[in-house]
Structure 1
Amino acid sequence: MDFSLILFVLVLLTGVVWALDRWFLAGARERRANAVLRSGGTEEAVRRASKEPVFVEYARAFFPVILIVFLLRSFIVEPFRIPSGSMLPSLHIGDFILVNKFAYGVRLPVVNKKIVDLGAPKRGDVLVFRFPGDESINYIKRVIGLPGDRIVYQGKKLYVNGELMEQTPAGAFGSQQGGAGSPEAALLIENLSGVSHEILVAGRPDHTPSEYVVPAGHYFVMGDNRDQSNDSRFWGYVPDENLVGKAFLIWFSWDASGPSRWFFDQIVFERIGATIR
């Protein structure tokens, strides 16, 4: 379900109803009320004649609210919820994030056509995009390769244009963390061309092709949970027209793992307000 399209339709419907009432229906009601008044009608009869229909009242009340939400969500910032553990340890299941919608240009809502170019993704950005295999689904991954880059992933090591991206051991990451149900994995800090971020690497062998050349106008993306991520290694590259925005903030976090608990026990307060790196 395309929420942007739903909002657009609601803005259109409520706006049309409000405009028609303002320009035509309100005047007709006023003339009708004046006619009732001149004919000696009671105050109640005049009030009923001038009363706006319920659907007009709701349209007038909701139109500005829906319009503001639509504009903010389409051009400024959009909220998303993290549904899987593919970006562990950076993002946990149940994290609610904010995405900068104009970081990579201003795009028309619904049709997703770029009208103003304000920049391009940088290596290391955490990117939200429409999945090329099904554009009704939004994915979130980290940008690894830019147009023209040669990417090699071999033996759990990442090479960009022949340069090894240094990995530093940082301990272990257990399945109890982040509510992801992930297997025991090594926690590493990877230096991605100057952008340091944490990744998870399990002991399983690689079974995917290891070398990729990013075509023009496309990006190569990977999840930080390297062995639990469905990313460019399996389905290819992200075209520029599929970009949604850059993730930058965790505004809420909810840990629903394990047995049902009291509401406030499931809020992960220490993650609220954390920046996404």
Structure 2
Amino acid sequence: MRFNIFKKTTAPKAKKSKLREWGDALLFALVASTIIRGLLFSAYAIPSGSMEGSLLTGDYLFVSKINYGPRMPFTPLAIPFTEPTVYGVKTYWDAIKLPYLRLPGLSEVKKQDVVVFNKPEEADPQYNRPVDERTTLIKRCQATPGDTLRIVNAQVYINGKAAKNAEKAQTSYNVITDGKEINPQVIKDLHIEILVQKTPDIFEMIIPAESLTTLKGYSNIKSIIPVVQSANEYDAAVFPHNEKFKWNADNFGPLVMPKKGMSIALNDSTMTLYRRAIELYEGNKVDIEGKDILINGKKAGQYTFKMNYYWMMGDNRHNSLDSRFWGYVPEDHIIGKAMLTWMSVDSTATLFNKVRWNRILRTIK
């Protein structure tokens, strides 16, 4: 009999318990999903009608982060897959904050892209939220850095040329009837939203373009007139919230989008239009002493922007809170590009009609 005294013997590995196997699997799934969600794509739901009829309330979307480059977290210590607050309790710890960093992407944000981003209005001090914990919005990009934007009688113009309107864009109309009631089923079938009844025979309605001709054909409809605010009719709710700029949602501008490296002279007008970007988005202390403008305690005659800025608007023009109301969107607020509708649910429909089957796996344009 031979004995090999140099042969190593290894003890059999202890078999993992079922609990340990499940724990390892869950940990792997959590890490993998966090990486995918952080670097590749995320799922979002449409909560409101600001993009109707391009996107509908109840649409569930895949949003690509690699198109514009994945944005690294500002607040790395947060509970994944949760809202910023749950029952008033923060789901993140903002004691550690990282600077803005975006990895290289496939392209820049382009005009007409449908973009998901954090709400710039929540940069105001009273919200006290890090950028990546602000409310998520979805709108269509109308203007990119360096563009001059103007809205004339509800038509967007970029650098003097009329911008392409979304195929399913909507706006509101004054509908004048002969006093007879409009059949509620007609309103439902034509996907019309009644905003307000102004008089017994005048209604303001949001009407899809494809429904206009049909509605006009009903005998009790006398006329349908687009609702457009007059030029020079000041609306205090509209950016920059200053009566020197007599702008409203339908007649606005001209306004130049700030571009990284672009310099502007500092005066009363430019401070009204750009102070928000200089102070809140780019983190400078701005003071005005008499006729002098001080940036971080030093007198300044001009300012050079550190970031790019974009103009975002909803396709449902008269039912959208967008850049017309809170201004341009800084690049560090951009999350990604909406690519695909993977599910769509109509909460107002009956049980067996809730799923909008014709919108499943539909590309977004």
Instruction: With the length of structure 1 as denominator, give the TM-score of the two structures.
Output: 0.68
Please name the residue that 2:101 is paired with. Answer: 113
**Gapped regions of structure 1 (runs ≥ 5):** 1-30, 32-46, 190-200
| Structure 1 residues 257 and 204, CA gap change in structure 2 (3 angstroms) | farther
Contact 1:100 1:247 (C-alpha < 8 Å) held by counterparts: yes
Contact 1:92 1:180 (C-alpha < 8 Å) held by counterparts: no
Q: How many residues of Structure 1 are paired with residues of Structure 2 in the alignment? A: 218
Q: Does 1:238 align with 2:340?
A: no
- Please state how far the C-alpha of 1:107 moved relative to its aligned partner: 2.5
**Amino acid of the structure 2 residue aligned with 1:221:** M
Report Cα offsets for 1:123-145 as digits up to 9, x if no partner: 00000001112342100000000
Please name the residue that 1:9 is paired with. Answer: none
Q: What is the CA–CA distance in structure 1 between the aligned matches of 2:170 and 2:50, rounded to whole Å?
A: 17
| Structure 1 residues 172 and 224, CA gap change in structure 2 (3 angstroms) | closer
Please name the residue that 2:256 is paired with. Answer: 213
**For 1:101, which of 39, 60, 65 is the aligned residue?**
65
Contact 1:149 1:161 (C-alpha < 8 Å) held by counterparts: yes
Report Cα offsets for 1:158-217 as digits up to 9, x if no partner: 11111123669989888637978464335459xxxxxxxxxxx96252644201211110
Q: Does 1:276 align with 2:364?
A: yes
**Amino acid of the structure 2 residue aligned with 1:61:** A
- Please state how far the C-alpha of 1:57 moved relative to its aligned partner: 5.1
**For 1:126, which of 109, 114, 125 is the aligned residue?**
114
| Structure 1 residues 127 and 69, CA gap change in structure 2 (3 angstroms) | same
Please name the residue that 2:182 is paired with. Answer: none
| Structure 1 residues 267 and 161, CA gap change in structure 2 (3 angstroms) | same
Instruction: With the length of structure 2 as denominator, give the TM-score of the two structures.
Output: 0.52
Q: What is the CA–CA distance in structure 1 between the aligned matches of 2:50 and 2:338, rounded to whole Å?
A: 15
Please name the residue that 1:143 is paired with. Answer: 141
Which structure is higher in helix share?
Answer: 1
**Amino acid of the structure 2 residue aligned with 1:243:** I
Q: What is the CA–CA distance in structure 2 between the aligned matches of 1:126 and 1:84, rounded to whole Å?
A: 15
**Amino acid of the structure 2 residue aligned with 1:218:** Y
- Please state how far the C-alpha of 1:157 moved relative to its aligned partner: 1.3
Q: Does 1:249 align with 2:340?
A: yes
Q: What is the CA–CA distance in structure 2 between the aligned matches of 1:100 and 1:86, rounded to whole Å?
A: 21
Q: What is the CA–CA distance in structure 2 between the aligned matches of 1:142 and 1:166, rounded to whole Å?
A: 11
Contact 1:148 1:213 (C-alpha < 8 Å) held by counterparts: yes
**Amino acid of the structure 2 residue aligned with 1:229:** S
Tell me the percent identity: 31
Q: What is the CA–CA distance in structure 1 between the aligned matches of 2:154 and 2:32, rounded to whole Å?
A: 46
Please name the residue that 1:23 is paired with. Answer: none
- Please state how far the C-alpha of 1:252 moved relative to its aligned partner: 0.3
| Structure 1 residues 100 and 168, CA gap change in structure 2 (3 angstroms) | closer
Secondary structure of 2:340's aligned partner? strand
Contact 2:70 2:335 (C-alpha < 8 Å) held by counterparts: no
| Structure 1 residues 219 and 171, CA gap change in structure 2 (3 angstroms) | closer
Secondary structure of 2:318's aligned partner? coil
